[in-house]
Structure 1
């Protein structure tokens, strides 16, 4: 009888354990499938009319598909943006809004800034800057649409992206979010300082940074500062802005990439792939700019010297060969 009781207890424990594992598995599946519909983030400072206009602008991309809405206020800005040095308060206004739509694995991060009543009201942050920041923060495989009913820098929309992930049980690492905010500030500052210079574009800078991230991921999270410096020099050259970017700005980029390394972003298995897709996306969207980099008049000095030396030695070889063929 006593042995039978022990068997019953043992069987019961096994059944309860199995039930517990089953519930855990169910909860895990649920957490992974919470992105069953897009999330629309609305700035709390919008008037009723602006809210309707913002919703119409953003959801036009959904072709009637359902979505859920969350509100972004000053507290959201404080939570996600202030750790990186921003000075928002709980009473700060938020107008820029976003729609985040998760896409198939491996599709990459795509960002589009949508005009509101015919005007692009995102005054500071570019689509390429949003892409790079989203990558650093840990966003993967998503379509992100941004708009604002009034001219504004666009920080509220990015905070909305972070909040949307948390809403869906995929809270992003705060160190990466802070690195992303530093990236946004650094790249927008460099682009603003160089916006009127010949041979410079925001696309070239962001393509250089995206490719630098990809190379860093290939080297691993233990890559040295010297290794990062070499990558930055090569990427600035590859993108034709090595003679436009100042030494101080180059150092800012190096410091930024060190911060990204230290944030743990490189530890993600998908970071390299996502960075590569962003770089390709930037190049495709600004094909005219990158085509010019390959023309003779825009090739860098070292390439031209290399070509000249190659032609010289070829000519010398041909001359010497002709002596023996007479």
Structure 2
């Protein structure tokens, strides 16, 4: 029965992935200019030619370019926001569209082309963007061809700068480290039937929340021992401690130490955004189970797995 439950979890994770890909609705409406927040900002990868830019506009459902502000991201921006050098030969393909929302709305990320963003998930983008200082925005991500997707957040930072918001370079670099760390752990465990990337997303949120709580309570950043305990507690809470390797755990600890040395650790805005994201992650999981039950998927999956063992 234990093996059956593990297979059930894997099957539901697969259903969640398919469901997310199928519900490809546009998060940002460009048909009408929002007079409160202005035009959505679109940032194209500098590696796109004119035809690919036009194709990207179609992916974002941009029917009138007068209703959006357009710019691009290049190697100079990678250096400015991520500290990446020697990137002149990189071909940047992924693009983003960003629109500011009302305070308290939280961060919403929609991957328009999940078939072409091969590594990064919408929740990983959201989690890292919060670390960087992004708040209360809707973000669409798209690519006209298959790309890993790590550079997309640079476009988000460029969009915010174009609208007068300045981000802390230390935080954007740690956010990129977070994105790469969580993606690497997910990649390392892609063949592990017990691993659930949603649990890792929740664990990252928990780690950041607890580190902020420690800083607030004791007036100083967590000690090395406290950081290790926070990471271990989060992994235990979300059933990952016996699933991911010690090497992966060490990567999380290293990230946590970097994170608590940024201004994000003292930001109430970051905590508010993390709380919103945490609630969204829980709703995604519960929503999947409710949909599976209401549409009969759950019983079909259970019966199918049982038939395999029978």
Asked if these proteins are the same fold (TM beyond 0.5), I'd say yes
Aligned to 1:252: 251
Question: CA separation in 2, counterparts of 1:36 and 1:211?
Answer: 34
Alignment of 1:65-104 (within 5 A): 66-81=67-82, 83=83, 86-104=84-102
Structure 1 residues 154-174: Cα deviation after superposition (integer angstroms, max 9, x where no partner) = 133211111112212211100
Aligned to 2:124: 129
Structure 1 residues 211-240: Cα deviation after superposition (integer angstroms, max 9, x where no partner) = 221222222262223222222112111111
Question: CA separation in 2, counterparts of 1:255 and 1:289?
Answer: 33
Secondary structure at 1:163 match in 2: helix
1:156–1:222 distance in 2 versus 1, CA, 3 Å: closer
Secondary structure at 1:286 match in 2: helix
Alignment of 1:162-311 (within 5 A): 162-220=157-215, 222-287=221-286
Match of 1:153 among 148, 162, 175: 148
Aligned to 2:105: 107
Note if contact 1:110-1:143 (Cα within 8 Å) is conserved in structure 2.
yes
TM-score computed with the length of structure 1 as normaliser: 0.71
Question: CA separation in 1, counterparts of 2:221 and 2:118?
Answer: 37
- What value does the CA root-mean-square deviation take over the aligned residues? 2.5
Aligned to 2:27: none
Note if contact 2:150-2:179 (Cα within 8 Å) is conserved in structure 1.
no
* Structure 1 unmatched runs, 5+: 1-32, 292-326
Structure 1 residues 130-170: Cα deviation after superposition (integer angstroms, max 9, x where no partner) = 11110110101111110100111113321111111221221
Secondary structure at 1:181 match in 2: helix
Match of 1:49 among 51, 55, 59: 51
Question: CA separation in 2, counterparts of 1:214 and 1:271?
Answer: 9
Aligned to 1:17: none
1:199–1:87 distance in 2 versus 1, CA, 3 Å: farther
Structure 1 residues 80-101: Cα deviation after superposition (integer angstroms, max 9, x where no partner) = 22x2xx4552342111000111
1:97–1:75 distance in 2 versus 1, CA, 3 Å: same
Structure whose residues are more often helix by fraction: 1
1:65–1:244 distance in 2 versus 1, CA, 3 Å: farther
Larger Rg: 1
The structure, 1 or 2, with the larger RCO (C-alpha pairs under 8 Å, 6+ apart) is 2
Deviation at 1:37?
2.5
Secondary structure at 2:211 match in 1: helix
